[in-house]
Structure 1
């Protein structure tokens, strides 16, 4: 430490003008002491003595042992030590001589006190940050190879040899530091600041392995946390026993940061002021999920103008939220379907907290999923006519169907075709049920299998999972332009929010 400081102080001392020496006459012998004619050797001075010369303005007191004696002569009396010398009588013209006692505190300064006196001490309190707050400012001698010295190398007083290391390198920079001898240096003991990558929203993203962790050991049909980030729960707020309660109404899907799509039959009789939407929900009975759910009040309910409450034709509604929700890993939107694409046969998944059976089933606490396949409109109508609906039943064009797909002819080992046996998809299990109303049927985009589009709004069915009978859904593909127009008008957008342009009807040919 002293070698480093001494080098710095020596450079400063050599830049100062040489001190003016005055002769002092020994009153007893009339001889001049050798110290009055010889300039002090700066290299042999201690830190405190050099500091005294720099900040006190007076020549340092050199101990008697360091004074070069005058060659002895019989007439010359020995020079007494400085401490025993008789004081020089003061006259009106003579300036007082500094006493040795006044210089004593300076001679006893420690390294820290010496650095502090020169303004060269280490930073105190909160360190000054630099390099986009990733580094800190420290005195130059505490930084080596862009890293703060923590082992004392080059700073400790080695009892022999040279203290300077051969591989000392220049510090990183000091351009950002306030003190002129401070440099910007990395702290090897600082914990690295880990910045989570900013989430980039993308509609139709399914987190098949969950968010943050995959949970194993579920019963059949449970989803992973955050697997379907577009899933919404529509709640009705009521006061029960003096306390506010959230009552489940139906499911829904987030299609815009401030818009949820659901079934009209769920909300057409509800006041918007009594509704709220919960996003990011998974386990309805606990709050131990990795990320919390978000509740947002409903500002306005828009049901389709042609909705029919008796037969559920045009069973679609949009809930405009009081404020936009922040999109994140477990809360994101579901894409709208392309009106020009045929989604028949697409692999889909329906989600909800509805009952597992129609008659005596129980509502689910953890979000459930069921894999389904969209089926053709005509095939669905044919299957429904085999039920109590009768042979004259007509399936409205506002509906689509999923589940219980048409059996396919497959080749046997002998090459003769046979009808494939119904599996779970076409059996008695795969279907939505009571309480799933308004929930989405998300289908893989044929052009991008990793992207899901809104393929249906759970509307109605004949029982739940009846063999060979598909479930019926309101078809968002039929309402894409209505959805886009309503959202664009509500938010007063100058153009289509979804970038859609409804085709202009061609004039009839003569």
Structure 2
């Protein structure tokens, strides 16, 4: 059986919900250099090239990525924060390195997840975090929500921190980005047949066997035409030839995001 890879080391409440269905690869350590996260086949970049990218922390420990869509709102994956109180969450912006002390930190006031989020299939895997104060500073900028359409084969940019090989136990401390081609819905559904459900809120992208996202990249942005069009969600392994990465489509969950932004 191939390993299903949620793109983060799971918070314990959600982990217990998912264990009956999936064999998960999770990091047991809580320190930043033990977290299961990475961009497969990417290159190191400076945060100035992806200023909307934030790293999300639970009780100070890196857990996921996210995208700043207004100065006080971050979009991430629901499975990163479901079951976690806002008081334990913190976002860090403007930091190229996970250990960068110059990054700007903000606490989270509220966590919004959709009622439609399914912990088994990861349908509607999206969350909005409302910050206690605006996230502003050097190398920090917002990114607009998606209003574009694309064709299979076009590229999206995915960014995050993490491992460079699937079996690695350590993450890269340096943010990385990778451009991956979009996979047709028909092809993705066929490849995941009997392995997982590609729901109406999902799309797929990867360069088989070469470029992909992986654990810990969860919640991070998938960018097309300088817009936030996807959220890293899950996949079967990482960078595997017959299993592309699966993303939440921002356009498909736009009504939920817009409602959360108004609160």
How far apart, CA to CA, are the structure 1 residues paired with 2:184 and 2:70?
28
Distance 1:375-1:329 versus aligned 2 partners, 3 A rule? farther
Q: CA deviation at 1:220?
A: 6.0
Q: CA deviation at 1:394?
A: 4.2
Whether contact under 8 Å (1:221, 1:370) holds in the other structure is yes
Determine which of 178, 202, 224 is the counterpart of 1:399.
Answer: 202
Whether contact under 8 Å (2:72, 2:133) holds in the other structure is yes
Whether contact under 8 Å (1:437, 1:459) holds in the other structure is yes
Q: CA deviation at 1:468?
A: 3.5
Residue in structure 1 matched with residue 135 of structure 2 by the alignment: 325
How far apart, CA to CA, are the structure 1 residues paired with 2:245 and 2:198?
12
Whether contact under 8 Å (1:356, 1:433) holds in the other structure is no
Per-residue CA deviation, residues 172-222 of structure 1 (Å, 9 max, x unaligned), is xxxxxxxxxxxxxxxxxxxxxxxxxxxxxxxxxxxxxxxxxxxxxxx9610
Query: What SS does structure 1 have at the residue aligned with 2:44?
Result: coil
1:146-225 aligned at under 5 Å gives the runs: 221-225=43-47
Quick check: 1:307 aligned with 2:129? no
Per-residue CA deviation, residues 24-44 of structure 1 (Å, 9 max, x unaligned), is xxxxxxxxxxxxxxxxxxxxx
How far apart, CA to CA, are the structure 2 residues paired with 1:286 and 1:331?
14
Residue in structure 2 matched with residue 336 of structure 1 by the alignment: 145
Quick check: 1:475 aligned with 2:249? yes
5+ long unaligned stretches in structure 2: 1-40
Determine which of 340, 348, 372 is the counterpart of 2:180.
Answer: 372
Query: What SS does structure 2 have at the residue aligned with 1:296?
Result: strand
How far apart, CA to CA, are the structure 1 residues paired with 2:140 and 2:46?
14
Whether contact under 8 Å (1:373, 1:402) holds in the other structure is yes
Q: CA deviation at 1:319?
A: 0.3
Residue in structure 2 matched with residue 462 of structure 1 by the alignment: 236
Whether contact under 8 Å (2:202, 2:249) holds in the other structure is yes
Per-residue CA deviation, residues 399-433 of structure 1 (Å, 9 max, x unaligned), is 11111xxxxxxxxxxxxxxxxxxxxx33x120011
Query: What SS does structure 1 have at the residue aligned with 2:203?
Result: strand
Residue in structure 1 matched with residue 217 of structure 2 by the alignment: 436
Distance 1:343-1:329 versus aligned 2 partners, 3 A rule? farther
Distance 1:225-1:485 versus aligned 2 partners, 3 A rule? closer
Quick check: 1:293 aligned with 2:96? no
How far apart, CA to CA, are the structure 2 residues paired with 1:330 and 1:313?
33
Q: CA deviation at 1:484?
A: 1.4
Per-residue CA deviation, residues 474-507 of structure 1 (Å, 9 max, x unaligned), is 111101122112212x1xxxxxxxxxxxxxxxxx
The CA RMSD over aligned residues, in Å, is 1.9
How far apart, CA to CA, are the structure 1 residues paired with 2:42 and 2:131?
34
More strand by share: 2
Distance 1:220-1:258 versus aligned 2 partners, 3 A rule? closer
Per-residue CA deviation, residues 130-175 of structure 1 (Å, 9 max, x unaligned), is xxxxxxxxxxxxxxxxxxxxxxxxxxxxxxxxxxxxxxxxxxxxxx
TM-score, reference length from structure 2 = 0.79
Q: CA deviation at 1:355?
A: 2.3
How far apart, CA to CA, are the structure 1 residues paired with 2:65 and 2:247?
13
Whether contact under 8 Å (2:54, 2:65) holds in the other structure is yes
Report which of the two structures shows the higher radius of gyration computed on alpha carbons: 1
Whether contact under 8 Å (1:363, 1:435) holds in the other structure is no
Whether contact under 8 Å (2:94, 2:138) holds in the other structure is no
Quick check: 1:350 aligned with 2:171? no
Determine which of 334, 339, 359 is the counterpart of 2:167.
Answer: 359
Query: What SS does structure 1 have at the residue aligned with 2:258?
Result: helix
How far apart, CA to CA, are the structure 1 residues paired with 2:91 and 2:179?
25
1:130-145 aligned at under 5 Å gives the runs: none
Per-residue CA deviation, residues 425-453 of structure 1 (Å, 9 max, x unaligned), is 33x12001111111111112xxxxxxx11
Per-residue CA deviation, residues 307-349 of structure 1 (Å, 9 max, x unaligned), is 11122111000000001122x551011211116x345433211
Determine which of 93, 97, 103 is the counterpart of 1:279.
Answer: 93
